Amino acid sequence: MELAGKIALVTGGSLGIGRATVLALAREGADVAFTFKGFRNRLGEEEDLVREVKALGRKCMAIESDVSKFAEAELVVRRVIAEFDGLHILVNNAGITRDGVVWKMTEEQWDSVIDVNLKGCFNYIRAVSTVFREQREGKIVNIASINGMRGKFGQANYSASKAGIIGLTKTIAKELGKSNVNVNVVAPGMIETDMTQTLSDEIKQRSVSEIVLGRFGQPEDVANAVVFLVSEQAKHITGEVLKVDGGQYM
């Protein structure tokens, strides 16, 4: 198994892309901790995921936490290291949307998306940076979006947060590179998750028409890209953006 002996932390890990990533990492041999935000979950989803990972023969821990809180990120990282005796992989996946055209967007809509998507990513990178530098080993993958590369009508906050993640990633890749830490982005296009199921049929059809392969991606498609980037096969890749979009960005 590619990740045998590795310990991973995934933010926003109980649903959608996060859940698929937790399982993909575990199947490759990693022990996995993940964060979740209680109000977003259907009852017991995080417990079900822990059981699934343990059934694969790996250790797993679910931690309820708000990624936008700087101090909580430090506590979560310390807790994972204490429980698993180490940490090698961070996947920043937690994210939200609060859509609206800019002339109607409220301050709360802007702040909440930036705080979770962009600040949350920074919080966890900051929390693991000292650990990864000291052990001279680490893999960080940040989940952005093709909308952070091209913009999206009605998503000024979301697109700005994801563009910020790309800029943040490239900077951190430069800062941590000499410590043998790889930092990359996976930028999904339209992926079939709980979030996209709430979209209208018109929006779904418009999105499919943009996709060269003519279909939505699956959470596992993104998870597989993450597994590649944290594996030794990608040891000479850093500061890059890997689109998983079926050609939607082209």
- Domain extent at residue 236: 7-186+220-244
Within a domain: residue 87? yes
Question: Averaged over 76-99, what is the pLDDT?
Answer: 97
Residue 249 annotated to the active site: no
pLDDT score of 244: 98
Question: Averaged over 161-188, what is the pLDDT?
Answer: 98
Within a domain: residue 159? yes
- Residue 79 sits in a domain whose CATH number is 3.40.50.720
pLDDT at 233 over 70: yes
Query: CB of 216 within 8 A of CB of 192?
Result: yes
Share of the chain above pLDDT 90, in %: 90
Instruction: Pick the catalytic residue from 36, 84, 132, 158.
Output: 158
Render 152-204 in DSSP notation, one character per residue: -TTBHHHHHHHHHHHHHHHHHHHHHGGGTEEEEEEEE-SB-SHHHHTS-HHHH
- In what helix (H) or strand (E) does residue 242 lie, and over which residues does it extend? strand 241-244
Question: Averaged over 41-70, what is the pLDDT?
Answer: 92
Within a domain: residue 204? no
pTM score over 0.85: yes
pLDDT score of 17: 97
pLDDT digits (tens, 9 = 90+) for 204-213: 888 899 999 9
pLDDT score of 43: 61
Render 52-113 in DSSP notation, one character per residue: HHHHTT--EEEEE--TT-HHHHHHHHHHHHHHHS---EEEE-------B-TTT--HHHHHHH
pLDDT digits (tens, 9 = 90+) for 175-214: 999 999 999 999 999 999 877 777 778 888 888 999 999 9
CA–CA gap between residue 178 and residue 188 (Å, rounded): 28
pLDDT band at 152 (very low <50, low <70, confident <90, very high): very high
pLDDT at 56 over 80: yes
| Average pLDDT in the chain | 95
Give the number of domains in the chain: 1
Q: Which of 102, 237, 233, 85 is nearest to 173 (CA)?
A: 237
Question: Averaged over 4-18, what is the pLDDT?
Answer: 97
Cα–Cα–Cα angle for 226, 231, 237, rounded to 5 degrees: 80
Within a domain: residue 211? no
Share of the chain above pLDDT 70, in %: 98
Within a domain: residue 192? no
Question: Averaged over 147-155, what is the pLDDT?
Answer: 96
Tokens (6 digits) for 67: 């990624």
CA–CA gap between residue 116 and residue 102 (Å, rounded): 19
Question: Averaged over 22-39, what is the pLDDT?
Answer: 93
Instruction: Give the pairing type, strands 89-92 and 7-10.
Output: parallel
pLDDT at 42 over 60: no
pLDDT score of 55: 98
Structure-derived torsion over alpha carbons of residues 99, 104, 110, 113, reported in degrees to the nearest 10: -10
pLDDT band at 109 (very low <50, low <70, confident <90, very high): very high
pLDDT band at 39 (very low <50, low <70, confident <90, very high): low
**90: Cβ–Cβ under 8 A, 6 or more apart, which residues?**
8, 9, 124, 125, 128, 138, 139, 140, 141
Out of 148-162, 196-210, 219-233, which region has the weakest mean confidence (pLDDT)? 196-210
Within a domain: residue 213? no
Within a domain: residue 212? no
pLDDT score of 30: 98
